[in-house]
Structure 1
């Protein structure tokens, strides 16, 4: 029918589009619809009886499977090039929650100019659309990425039907659980920690309506165990508003299943917390509280006074807790709990701590060798804070 699938980044800045067929024939094309979120676009040329390539099935794609990549790399003299390789990995996740962030990795040679070309199996079925490479030179280094066929099919069908894509929206801001927290809660390393409940494009809070709360840990979506917290984005975004999904969550040590009716994804949802910036302290004198080393934890802390916070570039007001002023790189706190200088600890073992004395009192109530939860605030330079959970183990 004259529909052509390509990448959004190939056509997004174009003022005029012409398609060159394999036989050299040139046709004017127009954009039917484009979706920056998945980096896919659909074009239309006039005519009929064009050859087409069928879609394969995402569940049939396997690591080690042979594939062919079609495209026109580098320049016009290399148009209509076919390269071969294998599926190197599935479910490669990149970026936060403003892109589909789920790719097929292959070692089939792909270079600039290949974008938008099909990745096909040996039956001639599309299993992905070539989209990106990992490179330090600007050209192929043995690692390329394709958008999976299930995402392509869903996006293309909607673009052809309406020129736009409606995506389901869970309504949370989230981040990955760090190794220390995963051990403390006995969850997998791919689990997602809910940081906040957010509104969809219509002002609903889909997750909030279902009872999801900050500090809930999501371990599975519709029975699919998360291998990476960012997997939530592709699992949810490939569904439609109004669809229902079952989330397996861990709350206060107990596992339960919650059903969420998805909302409408806003154009620019809240980003995934990435742990905040690691800020360097500025030279200034006049501590209001002396730092103290927490032996065995690998931490140096002091009460989070305004003067102490300013030395780390934090201008936030009404901060209650203890400021981490030093972390031993060999410690669990640095390696697994992801604690860094400039974060503020506000809870220890689920008890609020407003100063160093309260921190030490809460820590004294933890048994030797026991793992306990720690709430921290991570600050950006503008004073905005993200609150997250982590865990530490009290030394024997």
Structure 2
């Protein structure tokens, strides 16, 4: 049984035109101080200062002059030229179901927005969103690098404008990739930043608890990890975000399972499956974990019902479906399901190994020693192929 990751945080940042201009001035270096830029524009330093502090409106003609002085168009200055791409990317983030073409398009858009970005703020938010697209595609190394670059931009915004929104946002996302990479050396300071900066934000606090949960799990402290899983669930219940609550229920169930509280694990997974906001991948993951807990409880009728009910997900997730078919053999007493998995060359060799183990046990319990030995020999063929990966607890 395994835990499942939470969604990342994404934001474009609100466009404040005076701040945008100041950001581009900082990017261009010392020659673009307020005094120096005012001289280039042929206006007084005080007039420019008042406009950039928001105390004076920037007239259209002056805006064109400022844009020209910065070497950009007015559309680029106001980010109007990327409005459609930004809206399309946000639509992708808000979609419950995302197809492969949608992922390809989102990655292309996010990469384009990084390429055209000017200034620390636009670039920082563009990199944060690129990292999120990469994370959703399980490109964790790429996402980590994007967020590290975004963190550099965030530090500039914090130092120059005392704006820590992007810094906190990226720090929250980096917790996820640092956890996946099992890099915990600087995690306590990162968690302190997030938990202090988002003290009244249950979503961010829930993700911090998830990070602490994974940290303790990797240390082998399962009881502490279980406590953090429950704390994460408490925070996410405050958000009323059914998707995040569903994931939290799955993570709590994971630790109840490994501490052998199988009935409690099954109860939480049943609740998670009932959540209508889970993605299809999270849903079939929950179904697979549920059947595993039910196998320990020998609740075969429920296994048959639940596998039949969610059979429509099998086509898109063949590895998950194969493992459910193995469970179906045990529950139904029909070996043909596990046999089909064993003979499917398109499936991962570890899954096929597991089907042999299932069939070996099936015929052993039937008293058919000859067939049990046959499947034992076949399982040895699979295990000798990639034995270093054959950790049975991780297989199912």
Max Rg structure = 2
| TM class, shorter-length | under 0.3
Q: TM-score, normalised by structure 1?
A: 0.28
When the two structures are superposed, what TM-score results if normalisation uses the length of structure 2? 0.28
